[in-house]
Amino acid sequence: MRVLVTGGAGFIGSHLVKRLLAAGDDVVVLDKLTYSGNTANLPLDSVEFLEGDIAVAADVERAARGCDAIVNFAAETHVDRSILGATDFGRTEFFGTQVLLEEVRRSGQRFVQVSTDEVYGDLEAGGFSTEEDPLRPSSPYSVAKAAGDLHIPAYVRTFGVNASITRGSNTYGPNQYPEKLIPLFVTNALDGEPLPVYGDGKQIRDWLYVEDHCSGIELVLREGKPGEAYNVGGGNEHENIEVIELILELTGADRSLLRHVEDRPGHDRRYALSTEKLQRVGWRPSRDFREGMRETVEWYRANRAWWEPIKSGEFRRYYERQYAQRLRASTSSPA
C-alpha cells in the first residue's frame, strides 16, 4: 500500500513512517516543518518527502496522488502554546483536516485521523472515557482537535468516505520535541536545569509508549471501520509527580531541581481511556512503563546532537516566555 503520512516529520508520525516501511508499504510524507517538524526524524532515502501544508489544497493533491491511504498527524500539538495563542491550531486542525477530507472524497483513499484523549475533557477519579462519550474539550488545543474530529462522521455519512479516528493518550519515547513534560524534564535534568512542576503535580495522565501508540494506529488503518473512533491508551495512569520522581531516579539528577510553579490555566486533572474496543480488534500495548521510560532517558542521553540545537533556537524564546516569570516566583518541592 502507498500511504501519505501528513505531519510525518513530527514525533509520533515519524515512528509510524518507520513502522510502515518495515511492513513493506511505500510512504509519502507531507509536512509543513513547523517548529516541531524535523527531517532528522525520517529515513529520507526511503520516503518521498514533500514540504507543504495540509490546509493548502494544491499541496495535498500533489502529495496524495497515487496514494491508497492517508494518516493525518499534522497538528499544532502543545496545550501550553495554544494558551498563548490558538489561531494556527484552528487553521491546521479544523480547516486542514477538511482539506484532506475533500481530497479523500474526490479520490477515495482510506483515511485515519490521529486524535487525542483530551477531546473527552477532564475526568473524575475512577471513570474511563469510551468512544461513545460526548466531546468536552477544555483547552484551545483540545477544542481544535475535537473540531477536526467532527468532520469525520459527517464526511462518512454525507459522502460515504472510508475514514476512522484514533484517540491516543499521552505519548512518550525517542524524538519527542522537548516542550512536553517527559522530554522537557529529562533534558533539563540531564543539564541540571530547574524542573517546573505545574501546581501540586497531582494531575493524572495515562502514559503510552510511542511504538504502542503506532501499533494501534496501524491496526486502525488496516482494519478500522468507517465512521468509528478507537481509543489507544497505555493503561499507565500516574500523577505527574510520580513520573518526575522516576525521571530524577533514571537521570540521577538532584531533587533540588524541582520547582512548583503557577499552574496551567484551565488545567485538566485527569484523563483515562477505556481501550476495550481496540482490544477487541486485537491490539494490546506491550511496553512496561518503567522500561519505556528507561529506554527514553537513555535515548536522550545518547542523542544530545538531536536535542541541543533545538533547545538553543526558537525553543529558547518560547521557554523564556512560558517559564521565566513562573520560575522566579516558584517554590522548591518538599523533600
Active site residues: 117-118, 141
Q: 233 is in the binding site of which of ligand DAU, ligand NAD, none (Cβ under 5 to 8 A by kind)? A: none
Q: Of 47 and 184, which CB lies nearer to ligand DAU in the complex structure?
A: 184
Cβ proximity to ligand NAD: between 33 and 241 the closer is 33
- Residues in contact with ligand NAD, shown as a per-residue x/- string from 59 to 98 under the rule CB under 6 A: --------------xxx-x--------------x---x--
The burial class, CB within 10 Å (0-12 / 13-18 / 19+), for 45 is exposed
CB atoms within 10 A of CB 330: 17
Residue 10 sits in the site that holds ligand DAU (CB under 6 A): no
**Closer residue to ligand NAD, CB minimum distance, 3 or 55:** 55
**First vs last C-alpha separation in the chain:** 54
The count of other CB atoms within 10 Å of the CB of residue 23 is 11
User: Does 12 engage in binding with ligand DAU (CB under 6 A)?
Assistant: no
Residue 12 touches ligand NAD, criterion: CB under 6 A: yes
The label of the residue with cell 466531546 reads 135
Side by side, the strands of the sheet bearing 258-261 are 195-198, 258-261, 331-332
Candidates 48-56, 116-124, 153-161, 213-221; binding stretch for ligand DAU (CB under 6 A): 116-124
Residue 45 or residue 124: which is nearer to ligand DAU going by CB?
Answer: 124
In angstroms, what is the minimal distance from the CB of 51 to ligand DAU? 22
How many Å apart are CA 226 and CA 85, to the nearest integer? Answer: 34
232 is an interface residue for ligand DAU by CB under 6 A: no
Residue 128 is a binding residue for ligand DAU (CB under 6 A): no
- 26-31, strands of its sheet edge to edge: 48-51, 26-31, 2-6, 69-72, 110-116, 163-168, 229-232
Residue 114: name the closest of 14, 239, 240, 237 by CA.
14
Check binding of 187 to ligand DAU (CB under 6 A): no
Are residues 59 and 30 in contact, defined by beta-carbon separation less than 8 angstroms? yes
Q: Which amino acid is at 149?
A: D
Q: Is 155 or 271 the residue whose CB approaches ligand DAU more closely?
A: 271
Residues near ligand DAU (CB under 6 A) are 77-80, 116-118, 169-170, 180-181, 184, 196-198, 203, 205, 240, 264, 271
